[in-house]
Amino acid sequence: MAADQRPLNEVAFLTVAEVASVMRVSKMTVYRLVHSGHLPAIRVGRSFRVPEQAVHEYLRESYVGVEAG
């Protein structure tokens, strides 16, 4: 098992609404990210669950820093 992976019983999953709240975006934006493959998710019935760590990684990778000039 890779160092960045945890057993599934230790993974915290968030609903689309919770992800939207954390990211301060609409639920539709979260659905677009999931459907485009930018944000990994699992399907539970008719809804999606996103690993909390995936949200943090997405935000970290998407961060646009301002260079001092």
pTM, two decimals, is 0.79
Identify the pLDDT of residue 67: 63
For residue 62, give the amino acid letter.
Answer: S
Identify the pLDDT of residue 53: 95
Q: Which residues of the chain fall short of a pLDDT of 50?
A: 1-3
Q: Are 13 and 20 in contact (CB under 8 A)?
A: no
Identify the pLDDT of residue 10: 80
Q: How far is CA 16 from CA 10, 22, 27, 31, 69, in A?
A: 19, 10, 6, 7, 38
Identify the pLDDT of residue 54: 96
Identify the pLDDT of residue 14: 97
